[in-house]
């Protein structure tokens, strides 16, 4: 099998298993490979990753290139990025996909700068026309108001993709593929990690997580300030709902990223999503697309959220909250 000029997927492994996003990327790579007759190769880096490399083949890779060993215990962006660069030099891939995670974005940025490659971030679509090895990437621009089609001239064509964009990739355990040790020479490469001690801290347990809440209240920039956000949070608690926010609230440091809903946050699927002071940008919309019912409160009648909300209230969220609370509690009684 020809490994050169193929479609590489940089995979991530957690506790010996490929992450959900890595599986999604392999599925998309397989789909692209069908239109251009290229092989799909998974790149798997870590301390113990052979088993995950086998999983990658089941999920659509024709082969897996593995960089394994104690030097890869824990993520070190300098070391990992250097390994990726050497793999790119050895196999000259046509396409190189990474997840839009903290670690993979770090690798993508470093590799793009070191090899002078274009990088398309947070793509939501990718297409290859028969016989042509150039990918047309689709990504939102101008805070989601338009979708831009982008083609990169450099090779490999680097792109990052968030979770939940390319769904539905099932494993086929009968698939066969070679597992190859990556040709690396990292002697003398000094990583940036300086670990002096490490204690794992369990994430704070919330009574209602965004993953399991049947009702979620989402707060947007319309809350005004941190105190406004806390009023919405208290409202969520009173009606027994989970609480999430848009990215600007996290960017302002009002709440941790664990509470962010959207393309670079959590994807939620409650029965009811109550969006308070949220404009409805595409990056947020993609995080709530599986909500059964969306109720939006926004004082701007032209806010984009009203285009996809099932119920809308044009008005001030702080005035709407008491009325909503009364109505919801009456329904819950
Ligand atoms: C790469 C990238 C990734 C991103 N990822 C995410 C993501 O994961 N999640 C996310 O949410 N965003 C994400 N964003 C940001 C996204 O593009 C939007 O900027 C963001 O979602 C807007 O948040 P918002 O609706 O709270 O704020 P705004 O767009 O500022 O909207 C505030 C809304 O509140 C309304 N309002 C104001 N006062 C009141 C009031 N008193 N009562 C009622 N309504 C009021 C206004 O009319 C307005 O519509 C991302 C952006 C980029 C570029």
Tens digits of residue pLDDT in 22-53: 999 999 999 999 888 899 999 999 999 999 99
In this structure, the number of other CB atoms found within 10 A of the CB of residue 332 comes to 9
The residue whose C-alpha atom lies closest to atom 53 belonging to ligand 1 is 143
Atom of ligand 1 nearest to the CA of 304: 49
Compute the distance from residue 47 Cα to the ligand 1 centre, in Å. 40
Looking at per-residue pLDDT, the higher value among 191 and 269 belongs to 269
Rounded Cα distance, 113 and 99, in Å:
18
For residue 284, what pLDDT is reported? 95
Element (H, E) at 249: helix 247-251
The residue whose C-alpha atom lies closest to atom 6 belonging to ligand 1 is 283
Compute the distance from residue 137 Cα to the ligand 1 centre, in Å. 24
For residue 205, what pLDDT is reported? 57
The residue whose C-alpha atom lies closest to atom 43 belonging to ligand 1 is 298
305 lines ligand 1 (CB under 6 A): no
Compute the distance from residue 284 Cα to the ligand 1 centre, in Å. 7
Task: Supply the DSSP string of 17-32, one letter for each residue.
Answer: EE-HHHHHHHHHHHHH
CA end-to-end distance (rounded Å), the chain? 65
Atom of ligand 1 nearest to the CA of 245: 11
Most confident of the ranges 50-59, 134-143, 163-172: 50-59
**Half-sphere exposure (CA, 13 Å, Cβ side) for 104?**
27
Rounded Cα distance, 230 and 107, in Å:
36
Atom of ligand 1 nearest to the CA of 264: 8
Element (H, E) at 286: helix 282-288
SS3 content of the chain, % helix, strand, coil (to 5): 35, 25, 40
Average pLDDT, integer, range 186-214: 71
For residue 209, what pLDDT is reported? 79
Complete domains list, the chain, with CATH:
7-181 (3.40.50.620), 215-332 (3.40.50.1220)
Rounded Cα distance, 277 and 220, in Å:
5
Atom of ligand 1 nearest to the CA of 248: 23
For the stretch 237-284, pLDDT in tens is: 999 999 999 999 999 999 998 899 998 888 899 999 999 999 999 999
Compute the distance from residue 9 Cα to the ligand 1 centre, in Å. 32
Compute the distance from residue 84 Cα to the ligand 1 centre, in Å. 35
């Amino acid at each position: 099998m020809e490994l050169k000029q193929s479609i590489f997927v940089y995979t991530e492994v957690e506790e010996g298993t490929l992450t959900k996003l890595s599986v999604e990327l392999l599925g998309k790579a397989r789909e692209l490979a069908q239109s251009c007759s290229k092989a799909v190769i998974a790149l798997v880096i870590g301390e113990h990753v052979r088993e995950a490399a086998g999983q990658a083949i089941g999920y659509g890779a024709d082969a897996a290139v593995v960089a394994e060993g104690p030097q890869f215990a824990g993520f070190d962006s300098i070391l990992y990025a250097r390994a990726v660069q050497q793999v790119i030099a050895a196999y000259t891939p046509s396409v190189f996909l990474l997840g839009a995670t903290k670690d993979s974005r770090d690798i993508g940025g470093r590799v793009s700068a070191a090899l002078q490659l274009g990088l398309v971030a947070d793509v939501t679509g990718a297409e290859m026309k028969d016989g042509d090895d150039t990918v047309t990437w689709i990504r939102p621009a101008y805070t989601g108001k338009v979708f831009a089609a982008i083609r990169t001239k450099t090779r490999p064509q680097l792109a990052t993709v968030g979770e939940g964009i390319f769904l539905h990739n099932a494993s086929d355990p009968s698939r066969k593929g070679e597992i190859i040790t990556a040709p690396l020479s990292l002697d003398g490469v000094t990583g940036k990690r300086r670990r002096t001690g490490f204690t794992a801290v369990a994430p704070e347990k919330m009574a209602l997580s965004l993953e399991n809440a049947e009702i979620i209240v989402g707060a947007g920039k319309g809350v005004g300030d941190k105190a406004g956000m806390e009023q919405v949070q208290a409202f969520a608690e009173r009606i027994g709902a989970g609480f999430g926010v848009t990215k600007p609230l996290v960017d302002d440091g009002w709440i941790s990223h664990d509470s962010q809903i959207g393309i670079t946050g959590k994807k939620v699927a409650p029965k009811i999503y109550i969006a308070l002071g949220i404009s409805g940008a595409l990056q947020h919309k993609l995080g709530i697309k599986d909500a059964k019912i969306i109720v939006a409160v926004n004082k701007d009648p032209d806010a984009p959220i009203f285009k996809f909300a099932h119920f809308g209230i044009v008005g001030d969220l702080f005035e709407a909250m008491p009325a909503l609370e009364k109505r919801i509690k009456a329904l819950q009684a």
